[in-house]
A and B are shown apart, each in its own frame.
Chain A
């Protein structure tokens, strides 16, 4: 077993807590992070599906884009800041309601994904002219440079990745967060707000990447340990490492940037048409629009699919073959699904081979194993979507 290189790794603000809890620290996106705690990945995965799992995602890239000169008209200021970032993404940012979060993609001119990210509009009119921007850890420097350049001299990008970013996920997560921070349960899925807690302000989103209901909490670094331990004090909460974070998002059918998404993959190929907002499609005003609109209309080469794999897990890079044995694609993420007790995978295949029920094969260590195209998600999402007030 190769020993991981630990030099040059950054540590998160909760590093000491992970070590105290017996977390097995591994390098991930330039940070030292716990892959699991002593109970192990399967127990952590199942605990999150049944109760509430606490994840440290402080390595990610939370940030705020703030308009330099505000008009004082909240709607107008939102439209001004939205207009600065819309040329980079395929989502309708102008159309965000106060407090709303949108999942979108940062695209290159060829319509390939540079990252997937969350953009959100503050609920409080006093904060109009600001966007809450959360990008992936591995891409944050590039994303932020791109966003800052697009904002020109009109808005300032403030990184918040010195803060703690905690995710509490699972069916009991929101009730637990609400007991600590009253009012959290009034948030609908994919909305956020600012809440006072113990002398600091928390930015709390009802969102996550496990397929479960839950919240993500941005906390000032000085308060991160206190918040982490306050959440862990609830017996329904256990700490969850990167291993279960990956198996949970895989079961939820959610793409992971750098694996299921990269600079060659368009949102349509990745099955993310919901992230290409109608207004933007009609205006055809986002990077790569000619390609993406053609694909959106059905002229599509390859598609991301879910696969049930018989036998050994087919990992990233495994070849996908059709029933006759012709190579047609590759697995981009794959592993064992603890909730389903079987191997599952995500990968790209030609559109003609992408219908659920299509019998395919995967090559694992040179041997062919049966696989079948399966609708996504593998495990149903259990988001709590409330009507927007």
Chain B
């Protein structure tokens, strides 16, 4: 399993043809307390860079863009009741949606751990 990152601070944890998407710890810290999450629909087809979800902090709404093209297979319903999971556990319980990837090769353009660490340094 590998994790890749976008410049907009989404991550995608990839296992074969499937990926789990969320926002990074850096992003949740910048946004502050998350109070609402708008999730994509299951079966929704996304192209890389499409708006997939919206997270709302007390102050503002921020769009979450899909790190890759694919079909939404699952969304994290726990966020409806507890949007703060994105703050407390951005890379585990605070995941946002799962994606069946169209082309795994598309991920090569994203940053790996080391590049993302540099990006946020």
Contacts and interface: CB of A to CB of B under 8 A. Distances in A.
Interface stretch (B10-18, B30-38, B70-78, B96-104): B30-38
B104 to A, nearest CB: 28
Interface residues on B, range: 10 to 19
B80 to A, nearest CB: 10
Contacts of B58: 41-42, 45, 243-244, 247, 335-336, 338
| Contact residues on A (Cβ < 8 Å of other chain), bracket | 20 to 34
Contacts of B32: 36, 40-41, 243
Interface string B2-33: 00000011000000000000000000001011
Interface stretch (A95-103, A211-219, A310-318, A348-356): A310-318
Interface string B41-71: 0000000000000101111111000000000
Contact of A335 (B8, B38, B59, B87): B59
Contacts of B38: 312, 365
A40 B61 contact: no
A36 B8 CA distance: 22
Contact of A313 (B30, B61, B62): B61
B61 A243 contact: no
Which of A36, A43, A244 has the most C-beta atoms of chain B within 10 angstroms of its own C-beta?
A36
Contact of A312 (B9, B33, B59, B61): B61
Contacts of B9: 1
Nearest to B57: A41
Given A247-B58, A338-B58, A42 B36 contact: no
Interface of A: 1, 35-36, 40-43, 45, 243-244, 246-247, 311-313, 315, 335-336, 338, 343, 365
